[in-house]
A and B are shown apart, each in its own frame.
Chain A
Amino acid sequence: MSKPTADWERVGDRFYRKTQLYTSVFDPDLELENYVVTGAPYSGAVALYRDEGKIYAYRGTQAAKFTIDIHSCAGKLIRQISWDKGRIKALGWSDDERLLVVTDDGTVRSYADLQGDFTPFSLGHGAEQHGVQGCKFWSTGFVALLGDNSIVAVTRYDEPRPQLLASAPAGEVMSWTVIPPEHTSSRSVEVLLAIGKTVYVIDAAECEDRGLEAGPFRHISVSPNGKFIALYTEDSKVWVISSDFQDRLSEYESKVKTPPKDLQWCGNNAVVLAWEDELHLIGPNGAASKFYYDSFMHLLPDIDGIRVLTGDTCDFLQKVPDPTEEVFRLGSTSPASVLLDALQQLEKKSPKADDDIQLIKANLDEAIDVCVSAAGQEYSIHWQKQLLKAASFGKSVLDLYNSDDFVHMTEALRVLNAVRFYEVGLPLSHDQYIRLTPERLMQRLVNRKEYLLALKVSEYLHLPVDRIYVHWARQKVRSSSTDEDGICREIIRKLDGKRGISFEEIARAAFDEGRGKLATELLEHEPRAGKQVPLLLSVGEESIALDKAIESGDTDLVFYVLLNLKKKIPLSSFFRTINTRPVATAIVESSAIDQDRELLKDLYYQDDRRIDGSNLLLSEALAAPDMTAATDKLKMAAKLLRDSKEFAPQVAALEDAQKLLRFQEVFEKDLTERFVGLSVNETMSKLIKMGNMKRAQKVQTEFKVPDKTYWWVRLRALVSRRDWRELEELSKGRKSPIGWEPFYNEILGAGNTKIASLYIPKCTTLTVGERIEMWVKCGMVTKAGEEALKAKDRGALEELRKQASGNAQLDIDRMIAQLQKGR
């Protein structure tokens, strides 16, 4: 076993290591220099397409067919996408391994899940006229530079909305790059354009000149954490500056005449400068180291290092992680290093093992921790084992140690080693694995159709497995050539009893393949009604869709189906469909009230809902501009109900309404006052207030207003008119249907005690006490006294005496005396 330090390289005071991940990656005939190569983040897939700008050997017509090839890092061809669309200007990946292809004319195709199916969208903003110069991608979006130096940003792929950023100055763009939104202070993407001698920073709102003088800059690159920028100056120097352009951190002169092909970051602390087969690794403070390759190479930067891809090998270049350095550095005396030595001594059955342990006894847990994390950084299984064994040995010596990290690391390593296997070709580093998350790793495995591995790993890590099954089933639906029933049976058999399976996704795959019947069948197994509906609509099963929507309780869905349905089928069958479903009817009704009354009329007519129909006409009558129109509508409303006896009261009311309008029109003409809009009672009241008793009475008889009501209306109207004469007249009446008390109360309320008092003697149903009270309220204590005297109520008289004054007091005294005398 080779020493782990064999491929270390010292750059300044740091070590860097180049790990060979895979060999014999590509077909030896493949001329990598003629291809544009981009890799997905987190050691994902690699996309290749032939650079049309380069000449290459003619190999017959077959090779002239243009394709985009997606390989794993180990070179395994995952998918070939044939291309006939136009000139590809840029190819890029998102975090979730979505491949984006941007052409000259601003068309973007987005291929999800490493599949051949894509969703297209267009950049717009003049991309057709000016053409796309190039694109820069980050984890969730990209920015395109157009021919007129305008910049278009796309920040999400599920619903792409290309947006124009602030306009950049004219001039040739020497090089450019983006700072992803998550690393900028404004939280929106910033674009760095090297034009002329300087660099411009552009975001959505503004374009700012950073005022550099050392340009033109051939290359510009931003570190993965967005904190630093590397620039390649005209005088062939590499500058590393902070991303706010405030500090220059280091400088390096390559002393090579030919300008480099590429400048990329290797992690966050080193920059790689690449020529065709030469590579300079520049660490902090301008220290550098050179690497040479036999053939042309491509750089695939990642978050914690950089992958170097040649036709033959795939290498990973990274800073030696701290724990690894601590354990393996030559001459290291760190506890972890000693612990590893102890293990080796133990394996040799040497007593020195114990000496070692005694030496580091005090720092043993730290040593174990370091060994565990160093194991995670190792690609070689041998060294992983050695380090874990060392940790395990250390653990055995300690009384108390929390083994959680150890256990997690063994689990993670098992997974990592499995996916690093060349057939799978996902050479994730431990850091990348943590950042990617196990869930998204599963997604990547599934995308590579490694279903069995994905299942095993998921079970091992206790992850949900439903996505894997669904993906498998979709694949099955797409590619299987057996008959539909067979496919359905097989899928159901495999997926039966599994929790959380989304049959809708499988059904959608079936539908996209044109297997409508299979889709419907699969949908039956979908538990979420909401998800069934849109697909059922696409398949053309509207009424099933409607039922499912109602079942889901989601009225939005119901409404959505109804809107679709209404467009599709004739109105009469639409009504037939909804009238057996009350919820659907309710929704149609409440939406139609706002916007489509005709529809509502038809609906009521069709369903024979006469009252509703007539009320609709009534509301139209209310909105009618003039009285003839209103009367017409009322007539129609009454006509609707006339056939049936049960609606007789309504019909009568509607006819009365017309009659009232007629009366009111006459009154308006005769009295030049507004009457329309008043109710029967109000009309009478107004007439009385105007002194038209006769007309008021006519209204009463015409509309059969009960006497009680009429008396109330008259009383209140007279009081409000302060027609005391008439009220005095009324007090001479003999009988009142509402009694006389209201007269007293209303008139007293209006403040006329004299008239009010006229009614007190008529209130014969009240008690003496109440009547006394009434007199007192009118200020007529003497009268009250008489009332009390009549009832021979001495107590009341005494009470009254206290309230009385002047003459009244004398009167009361007299009455009391009278009462005493009488006894």
Chain B
Amino acid sequence: MATRQASQAINTQDITDKSRRDLLLLLEAVSLNSRHGPVTTFIDMLQVRGKKNLVIERSLASIIGLFVKFSTLQEYGVDKLFVLENHNVDSSQRNIVFLVRGENAKIVRTVAEQIRLVRSESKIDHDFTVIWVPRRTLVSNLILEEHGVLGEANITDLALQFVPLEPDVLSLELEDCFSDLILRRDPTPIFAAARALMLLQKQYGLFPRILGKGDNAKKLADLLQRMRSEEDVNASSDPTNTYLTSFGLTPSASIENLIIIDREVDFPTALATQLTYEGLLDEVFGVSHNQTEVDSSILGGAPAPQPQSHTGGPTAPAAAATKRKVQLDSSDELYPEIRDANFATIGPLLNRTAKRLQTDQQNIHKADQSISDLKSFVSKLPSYQAESASLKTHTSLAEEITKFTHSAPFRRTLEIEQNLLIGSEGSTTHEQLEELLARSTPLPTVLRLLCLESTLGNGLRPRDFEHFKRLLLQAYGYQHLSTLARLEKMGLFVAREANRGYLNPISGSAGQTATDWNAVRARLHLWIDEVEEAEPRDIAYVFSGYAPLSVRLVQAVLQKGYLLDLVNPPRAGAAGAAAVGTGANGSGWKGFEDVLARIKGATVDVVQKGRDAEASQARKTLRGNKEGPKTSLVFFLGGVTFAEIAALRLVGRQLEAAGGGRKLIIGTTGVISGGRAVDVAIEKGVFGA
């Protein structure tokens, strides 16, 4: 009975499989010219008749690449692949399929224009198919109608929501979610997140408890509640639905809670320089959809086995000669071991692997080997080769990163950053910042530091604020008036207001507008002096000292005992251990209400009960064991950084080690970094361009 492990609570592979299946079915349907009702079976036909050209939105192309190979698309009749933004769709095939996001009016308009263009220029009678991701929208209908192409195209949708980046990371991969939420205040990502989470709930049952921090987190939680009541009606008015679904949702047997962290609650963590290997890869080269692009000269002598079949996503053909794509995921032999390590320890880690591989190699050369030894070695040979190739790649990458981390500007910025995070006040920081400005350090670096100071201090003093603004405009150009205006709108770089701040932390008052960082820093122990980078015990290792607030909040729910011990070290050793054990039960924010009240944004704590008490009881009985569900889903609204992922993985490992099969899964709207966060605001135009 107990074969169903908690570790399979959310089967991310399922999500990948389903997305792939849905997409392929849609593509297949195009060649069939029909879409017969609810397609229930996975049709095993590989040879389908109609060839088609696939036009895909650039940002979707690499996402699709996460779960389906280009060769598979070809098997399903895809002849050529075009990127929508290039406006180069040709008319070589009768079937033209568009795969684009339907929620963006601009994209929809482009699709409509291209259909019109192809239709007017081509002599053959084309069959157009538009596959909207993740759903068909009213606005897309309206726009296609305005362009007179609504009747011309077969329209379907592909409910692509969560994409598993890794077995424990689910991402919506919404590229603009940070700017949508923070800059434009456009709640589209919240809705998308709610729909995706609803889908999980439909599959795994209601999240028994929803916790969260931040105003947007509150909106998301409210939306989830609302959708739940709407779901009742939807389920019954959908004719294809069988009566099983209409019993209504019951609390999940496998998921214990959902913890929503609103990015707005914790900007500093996003702005700080990530110091894990993966984080630095992102800082230096940029990582998107599990891939990074580096100069092939960096990889230098390393052979090119890396872009193997699994990178063969739709974007694979003919990457620019000078750039090479490197796949960064757990399909690699080595990467999973080193990705979350603090960069300081990467050298020894790589070294150890190199030594091991060397001994392996020496083993072959030993003369006296029995045939069975040889056989077992030969069977390991492929993985050995893959591992040594991967070692070469990562050594080259690490070397390049070392160049960066050893550079004087990097050390200078890191020093300022750490001082800010520790919370030491001082004019030296400002002097150092002024120097950075005068030395025309790259703008994003300077902005990150300024924003970091502003967010940690609820704004700069008005005099300093104006001073830095002036310096910035002089150093980088007056076009950055827009940049500054945007940062101010985002709340990243503001002047401190007299009436705002930590004067009035009425306990429990929702909608606190500012965070009292000093109190929070002390109360949640956001700075750890003794960080053991090699054998990390605390999440602070990811920033070499600073423990990200977002993850501390998660710990406030899941590792209460640990956190309390950290703040008030236990006198007797035994007491602490007991606290860890008991701290984990579903008591929400209990014990940390006062800190939460000092952090800006609303606090969410909702208990979801099933409509049908009997059914949930029955489920519990069927499950057999008395203990409650064990998996927690942490959802980042507005993006998560790799450093936070690494920190949460540490928390997850600690939970698992504590026994009871507890597990952590991370969900997010996308992956973000400080560079990308400020880049949203930066004005790209230049005078006289």
Q: Which A residues lie at the B interface, using CB under 8 A?
A: 96, 140-141, 153, 155-156, 159, 161, 163-164, 181-182, 186-189, 204-205, 439, 443, 462-464, 466-467, 470, 499-502, 505, 526-531, 534, 551-557, 559-560, 563, 582-583, 586-587, 589-591, 594-595, 611-612, 615, 618-619, 621-623, 627, 630, 649-650, 653-654, 656-657, 660-661, 676-682, 685, 703, 705-706, 708-709, 711-713, 716, 738
CB atoms of A653 and B138 under 8 A apart: no
CB atoms of B478 and A656 under 8 A apart: yes
CB atoms of B481 and A709 under 8 A apart: no
Given known contacts A204-B50, A708-B434, what 17 new A-B pairs fall within 8 Å (CB)? A155-B36, A186-B32, A188-B34, A467-B237, A499-B248, A500-B235, A526-B233, A553-B219, A583-B187, A595-B105, A618-B481, A618-B482, A630-B687, A650-B481, A656-B473, A680-B474, A708-B438
CB atoms of A556 and B137 under 8 A apart: yes
CB atoms of B33 and A553 under 8 A apart: no
User: Which has the most chain B C-beta neighbours within 10 Å: A619, A623, A685?
Assistant: A619
Could you say which of A205, A591, A615, A660 contacts B50, with CB atoms under 8 Å apart? A205
Q: Give the residue name and chain of the A residue nearest to B476 (CB).
A: A679
Which residues of B439-495 are within 8 A (CB) of A?
Answer: 439-440, 466, 469-471, 473-479, 481-482, 485
Dominant secondary structure at the A interface: helix
Known contacts: A140-B37, A153-B33, A500-B246. The answer to whether A505 contacts B237 by CB under 8 A is yes
Known contacts: A499-B232, A527-B229. The answer to whether A553 contacts B194 by CB under 8 A is yes
CB atoms of A681 and B475 under 8 A apart: yes
Q: Which 10 A-B pairs have CB atoms at the shortest separation, nearest pair first? A: A622-B685, A657-B478, A712-B438, A676-B688, A155-B34, A500-B236, A679-B477, A680-B474, A560-B138, A556-B137
CB atoms of B471 and A706 under 8 A apart: yes
A443 to chain B, nearest CB (A): 8
- B410 in contact (CB, < 8 A): no
Q: Give the residue name and chain of the B residue nearest to A591 (CB).
A: B105
CB atoms of B476 and A528 under 8 A apart: no
- B404 in contact (CB, < 8 A): no
CB atoms of B33 and A555 under 8 A apart: no
Which residues of B516-557 are within 8 A (CB) of A?
Answer: none
CB atoms of A709 and B474 under 8 A apart: yes
Which B residues are CB-close (under 8 A) to A189? 34
Which A residues are CB-close (under 8 A) to B234? 528
A96 to B37, CA, bound (A): 12
A529 to B222, CA, bound (A): 14
CB atoms of A188 and B33 under 8 A apart: yes
Which A residues are CB-close (under 8 A) to B139? 556, 559-560, 563
Which B residues are CB-close (under 8 A) to A499? 232, 236, 248
CB atoms of B246 and A590 under 8 A apart: no
Known contacts: A712-B439, A716-B439. The answer to whether A677 contacts B232 by CB under 8 A is no
CB atoms of A738 and B435 under 8 A apart: yes
- B242 in contact (CB, < 8 A): yes
Could you say which of A140, A590, A711 contacts B36, with CB atoms under 8 Å apart? A140
A677 to B479, CA, bound (A): 9
CB atoms of A462 and B243 under 8 A apart: yes
A443 to B238, CA, bound (A): 12
- B320 in contact (CB, < 8 A): no
Which residues of B22-68 are within 8 A (CB) of A?
Answer: 28, 32-37, 43, 45, 48-50
User: Which has the most chain A C-beta neighbours within 10 Å: B33, B49, B239, B439?
Assistant: B33
Which A residues are CB-close (under 8 A) to B439? 712, 716
A560 to B136, CA, bound (A): 13
CB atoms of A466 and B477 under 8 A apart: no
Which A residues are CB-close (under 8 A) to B190? 553
A464 to B234, CA, bound (A): 12
Could you say which of A462, A467, A560, A713 contacts B236, with CB atoms under 8 Å apart? A467
- B180 in contact (CB, < 8 A): yes
B472 to chain A, nearest CB (A): 9
Which B residues are CB-close (under 8 A) to A140? 36-37
B132 to chain A, nearest CB (A): 11
Which B residues are CB-close (under 8 A) to A582? 185
Which A residues are CB-close (under 8 A) to B243? 439, 462-464
- B147 in contact (CB, < 8 A): no
CB atoms of B49 and A705 under 8 A apart: no
Write out, one digit per residue, whether chain B residues 137-174 have a CB within 8 A of any chain A CB (1) or not (0). Answer: 11100100000000100110000000000000000000
Which B residues are CB-close (under 8 A) to A466? 233, 236-237
Could you say which of A534, A586, A681, A711 contacts B440, with CB atoms under 8 Å apart? A681
A501 to B689, CA, bound (A): 60
Q: Give the residue name and chain of the B residue nearest to A554 (CB).
A: B191
B79 to chain A, nearest CB (A): 15
Known contacts: A205-B50, A528-B230. The answer to whether A502 contacts B236 by CB under 8 A is yes
CB atoms of B233 and A653 under 8 A apart: no
Which A residues are CB-close (under 8 A) to B474? 679-681, 703, 705, 709
A164 to B126, CA, bound (A): 12
A627 to B687, CA, bound (A): 8
Which A residues are CB-close (under 8 A) to B435? 708, 712, 738
A5 to chain B, nearest CB (A): 39
